[in-house]
A and B are shown apart, each in its own frame.
Chain A
């Protein structure tokens, strides 16, 4: 079983090569940092003061995550997860995959693992992008000082939180896109849930919606917003939803009467 999982993972990783989802990971990760670099080069007269201020990296981190946590990350996860799972429907390859000597459990888990690894890949590239957004303007604009030590602990902890907070979105989108042949169902539902999450941020029970956790993780940290402060640990909630959606998705997958 372990060997089957490894070979299945390798084959699933090969499948995503050159796919739209894999390109989205790269472009999505560098989109916000590129905007930040351009903005800082354009308004270069503010840079000396900015780079010599305390908490430069933390501020840069929050600037980079602002649009990412609220818009780009949830939408990117919705699209990328749906696209990865839909590769088989789009290419009519479920029947080929289901006639290989792989247990269905392994197929289900290896696809889910690939999506999770892509999420990690995105976070690594996004962190690299944030670092570049700090370093590149200083290299281009003369007279700007080095902004001080990078708070690695803070970055790593926040990365972990964002990763965990995305897991319910991954699991539910995965369930939908495995179950429905028409990718508009999974993407459409994802958009509705995302809009629902945006609309309930200020509601005291908004934390019950599994698509809100990335947003809450950003907003909880003291930014002036109207978002309600969740009375529970949202990261544990995210893990709970992830487990429930994964088990439900697995059950629907293995009990499907037609497998390609």
Chain B
């Protein structure tokens, strides 16, 4: 069951520049879906289209099984969102900001102190939001998104402006919401390490195209497949010939030899053969492909 689905979503700016091309997002119910991409990839444009902030040009958007255009009000009643920079009324306190939206969502007034405590702004009293730090404004924006106890939370770069402690707290908060309340979360970020620690599913967008979509486990398995060993030798050509003669999948690239992942015993055996053949071995090191290197591999094929 999908909470959110887009079908062939495409978008052009008024200048004619194409910013999104056939985006087919599939966010399963109960997932924490990381929407990853470099700056300018089209993450925010996609999220703004999903929330109706941009006029849809091509493709379709379905949330909770309903077409967004036909059921906008019903859908938005069940969605909390934070898009890009904080949006709060500077001349009002945190509580007053939330009271505005509590009226609109018609949720219980008790939600206000609850969400303020959740984001760590319970003690800001009458202090005006304009006097808040960027991190505090971001927390207040997250509190606004959480206020109606949404079934789907759409967060665009929610950790912007937060200090390391705040980032950890935010991650734990989102995990708790997902685990205890079953909230589906779509979170965009360029912080790969953060996404790695948070999400269950992932979509990677680059230059307006979705280049990967699946579970984090699927991506990790891809990561395993791309683990490799790098060999630096005094005479790399001779070393390459020897390794190929041994039927190893060696590849000469950028002054070193790249080999598939192997055990420590296999590495030691290979080293012995090279040394016995009179080839100087400077370094043999495994290259662990973290999410960052997979991401870079994906966006720079």
Instruction: Return A133 CB to nearest CB of chain B, in Å.
Output: 31
Cβ contacts under 8 Å, B89 to chain A = 15, 87, 91, 93
A15 and B90 alpha carbons, distance in the complex (Å): 10
A206 and B78 alpha carbons, distance in the complex (Å): 53
- Most chain A beta-carbon neighbours within 10 Å: one of B48, B53, B83, B101: B53
- Most chain B beta-carbon neighbours within 10 Å: one of A93, A101, A103, A258: A101
- The answer to the question of B74 belonging to the interface, with a C-beta cut-off of 8 Å to chain A, is yes
Given contacts A11-B103, A11-B104, 8 further A-B contacts (CB under 8 A): A8-B104, A91-B89, A98-B53, A99-B53, A101-B105, A257-B55, A259-B54, A260-B53
- Most chain A beta-carbon neighbours within 10 Å: one of B48, B88, B104: B104
Q: List 13 A-B contacts (CB under 8 A).
A: A7-B104, A11-B101, A14-B92, A14-B99, A15-B100, A92-B85, A92-B87, A95-B87, A99-B81, A100-B101, A101-B77, A257-B14, A259-B54
A259-B101 contact, Cβ under 8 Å, with A17-B96, A93-B87: no
- The answer to the question of B135 belonging to the interface, with a C-beta cut-off of 8 Å to chain A, is no
A96 and B97 alpha carbons, distance in the complex (Å): 11
A4 and B106 alpha carbons, distance in the complex (Å): 10
Instruction: Return A13 CB to nearest CB of chain B, in Å.
Output: 9
Interface residues of A, count at CB 8 A = 28
Q: Are B76 and A99 in contact, with the CB atoms below 8 A?
A: yes
- The answer to the question of B51 belonging to the interface, with a C-beta cut-off of 8 Å to chain A, is yes
- Most chain B beta-carbon neighbours within 10 Å: one of A8, A94, A96: A96
- Most chain A beta-carbon neighbours within 10 Å: one of B83, B96, B100, B141: B100
Q: Are A96 and B73 in contact, with the CB atoms below 8 A?
A: no
- In chain B, residues 245-293, which have Cβ atoms closer than 8 Å to a Cβ of chain A? none
A99 and B80 alpha carbons, distance in the complex (Å): 8
Instruction: Return A104 CB to nearest CB of chain B, in Å.
Output: 9
A100 and B87 alpha carbons, distance in the complex (Å): 13
- The answer to the question of B241 belonging to the interface, with a C-beta cut-off of 8 Å to chain A, is no
Cβ contacts under 8 Å, A257 to chain B = 14, 54-55
A93 and B14 alpha carbons, distance in the complex (Å): 23
A259-B100 contact, Cβ under 8 Å, with A92-B85, A101-B73: no
Interface residues of B, count at CB 8 A = 33
Cβ contacts under 8 Å, B92 to chain A = 14-15, 17-18
Cβ contacts under 8 Å, A95 to chain B = 48, 51, 53, 83-84, 87
A94 and B54 alpha carbons, distance in the complex (Å): 12
Instruction: Return B162 CB to nearest CB of chain A, in Å.
Output: 18
- In chain A, residues 10-51, which have Cβ atoms closer than 8 Å to a Cβ of chain B? 10-11, 14-15, 17-19
Q: Which residue of A has the minimal Cβ distance to B86?
A: A92
Q: Which residue of B has the minimal Cβ distance to A103?
A: B73
Interface mask (A246-260 → B, CB under 8 Å = 1, otherwise 0):
000000000001111
Cβ contacts under 8 Å, A8 to chain B = 104
Cβ contacts under 8 Å, B106 to chain A = 7
Q: Are B86 and A101 in contact, with the CB atoms below 8 A?
A: no
